[in-house]
């Protein structure tokens, strides 16, 4: 972790660690190559859509000249959530559905990093559904890329919250009866300030969405269709021109600041649209907390630890 030690302004005489600002790109410090970023050999099934997403994340790192100490990749549990294992940098394969709270802590404490979270539809919208809503509404700066394959892959074919009606799985042998959630509608309604949709079969588009999400100052959400060739083969053929489908980009006339229009776009029947549906520049929780901390530090300037404590006790009398 890259940090600088300074005298703690709140506790004179003690030392505090502050995040070091990103190093400027210099001639001496070259960007990483794919070989330097790639860690373990991915253990996904041959043909799994997740390979493309990983390859494009590597491309993003190369293109944006990020260095190891500035790359943070967080995930929950699932096939897609194995992601951080395959990236040679800081990261965590965390608890199922709990990637976002973990990522929130990193984002709020390390303003010099951009946190990326990857995971599956089950991780995001079943067990992690509550965290998704709250992280979105708090507008915590990070990029969350949900690799949606409409199924639980790791646990070998159970119905997920995005599985379509009628999908036959180990948990719905006669076909799914529960109405699926619409990730785009869910993200917009929850308050995400950047909402985009892409598919692993269109690499240029995935990279474009990742770059735009990374540049957004707030909670950026990408639904990336990523086919599970083992348990839901052909699920997204209708969105792939190479399989006779259509890839419809969000119309150029679409106003990304119009929440209602974004919601309408999200309601289109599959294969729907691809691109940025919604974008809004609300203040982040990161900015608000920084402001609160700055004000508090100003109030206790010059006081010793015990004096700050005493002030608190006095206030409670």
Ligand X SMILES: Cc1ncc(C[n+]2csc(CCOP(=O)(O)OP(=O)(O)O)c2C)c(N)n1
- Which residues make up the interface to ligand X (CB under 6 A)? 77-80, 96, 120-123, 127, 149, 151-155, 160
Q: Which stretch binds ligand SF4 (CB under 6 A): 42-50, 109-117, 254-262, 282-290?
A: 42-50
50 versus 123: smaller Cβ distance to ligand SF4: 50
Which of ligand X, Mg ion, ligand SF4, none is residue 77 near (CB under 5 to 8 Å by kind)? Answer: ligand X
> In the bound complex, what is the minimum distance in angstroms from residue 42's beta carbon to ligand SF4?
9
Minimum distance between the CB of residue 147 and ligand X, rounded to whole angstroms? 6
Is residue 120 a contact point for Mg ion (CB under 5 A)? yes
Q: Does 76 bind Mg ion (CB under 5 A)?
A: no
Nearer to ligand X, 77 or 142 (CB): 77
- Please say which residue, 153 or 183, places its beta carbon nearer to ligand X: 153
Residues 132-151 close enough to bind Mg ion by CB under 5 A: 149
**Cα–Cα distance, 172 to 232 (Å, whole number):** 14
Residue closer to Mg ion (CB basis): 103 or 123: 123
Angle 309-311-312 from CA coordinates, rounded to 5°? 65
Residues 130-159 that bind ligand SF4 (CB under 6 A): 149, 153
From the CB of 142, what's the least distance to ligand X, in Å? Answer: 18
Q: Of the listed pieces 16-24, 67-75, 113-121, 209-217, which binds Mg ion according to CB under 5 A?
A: 113-121
Is the peptide bond preceding residue 271 cis, with omega within 30 degrees of 0? yes
Q: Which stretch binds ligand SF4 (CB under 6 A): 45-53, 106-114, 128-136, 211-219?
A: 45-53
**Do residues 82 and 123 make contact, with C-beta atoms less than 8 angstroms apart?**
no
| Rounded alpha-carbon distances, angstroms, from residue 158 to 77, 83, 129, 173, 223 | 15, 21, 17, 10, 20
- Our finding on whether 79 is near ligand SF4 (CB under 6 A) is yes
- Which of ligand X, ligand SF4, Mg ion, none does residue 155 bind (CB under 5 to 8 Å by kind)? ligand X
CB of 118 to ligand SF4, least distance (A): 13
The tokens of 241 are what?
């021109």
Q: What is the DSSP string of the chain?
A: --EEEEE-SSSTTSEEEEEPPPPPP-SSSPPPPHHHHB-SPP-SPTT-THHHHHHHHHHHHHHTT--GGGEEEEE-SSSGGGGGGGBSSEEEE-STT-HHHHHHHHHHH-TT-EEEEEEEHHHHHTTTHHHHHHHHHHT-SEEEEEEE-SEETTTTSEE-TTPPTT---SS-TT---SPPP-HHHHHHHHT-SEEEEEETT-HHHHHHHHHHHHHSSSEEEEEEE---TTTSTTTTGGG-GGGT---EEPPTT--TT-HHHHHHHHTSPTT-EEEEEEE--PPPHHHHHHHHHHHHHHHTTT--HHHHHHHHHHHH-
Is residue 42 involved in binding ligand SF4 (CB under 6 A)? no
Select from 55-63, 68-76, 174-182, 229-237 the region that touches ligand SF4 (CB under 6 A). 229-237
- Select from 18-26, 116-124, 236-244, 287-295 the region that touches Mg ion (CB under 5 A): 116-124
Nearest distance, CB of residue 36 and ligand SF4, angstroms: 25
Sites of contact with ligand SF4 (CB under 6 A): 44-45, 48, 50, 79, 149, 153, 228-231
- Contacts to Mg ion by CB under 5 A: 120-121, 149
């Amino acid at each position: 972790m890259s940090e600088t030690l300074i005298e703690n302004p709140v506790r004179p005489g003690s030392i505090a660690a502050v995040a070091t600002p990103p190093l400027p790109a210099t001639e001496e410090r070259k960007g990483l190559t794919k070989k330097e970023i790639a860690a373990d050999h991915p253990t996904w099934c041959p043909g799994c859509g997740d390979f493309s997403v990983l390859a494009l994340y590597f491309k993003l790192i190369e293109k944006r000249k990020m260095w190891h100490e500035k790359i943070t990749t967080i995930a929950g549990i699932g096939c897609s959530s194995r992601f951080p294992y395959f990236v040679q940098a800081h990261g965590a394969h965390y608890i199922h559905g709990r990637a976002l709270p973990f990522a929130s802590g990193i984002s709020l404490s390390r303003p010099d990093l951009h946190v990326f979270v990857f995971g599956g539809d089950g991780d995001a919208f079943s067990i992690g559904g509550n965290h998704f809503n709250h992280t979105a509404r708090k507008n915590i700066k990070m990029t969350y890329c949900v690799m949606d394959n409409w199924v639980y892959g790791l646990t070998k074919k159970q119905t997920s919250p995005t599985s379509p009606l009628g999908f036959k799985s180990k948990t719905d042998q006669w076909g799914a009866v529960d109405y699926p959630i619409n990730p785009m509608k869910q993200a917009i309604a929850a308050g995400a300030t950047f909402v985009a949709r892409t598919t692993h079969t269109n690499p240029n588009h995935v990279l474009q969405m990742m770059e735009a999400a990374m540049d957004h100052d707030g909670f950026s959400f990408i639904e990336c269709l990523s086919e599970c060739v083992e348990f839901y083969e052909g699920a997204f053929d209708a969105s792939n021109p190479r399989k006779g489908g259509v890839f419809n980009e969000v119309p150029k006339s679409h106003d990304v600041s119009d929440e209602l229009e974004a919601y309408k776009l999200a309601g289109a029947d599959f294969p729907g649209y691809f691109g940025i549906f919604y974008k809004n520049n609300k203040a982040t929780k990161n900015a608000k907390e920084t402001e609160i901390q700055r004000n508090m530090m100003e109030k206790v300037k010059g006081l010793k630890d015990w004096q700050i404590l005493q002030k608190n006790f006095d206030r409670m009398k």
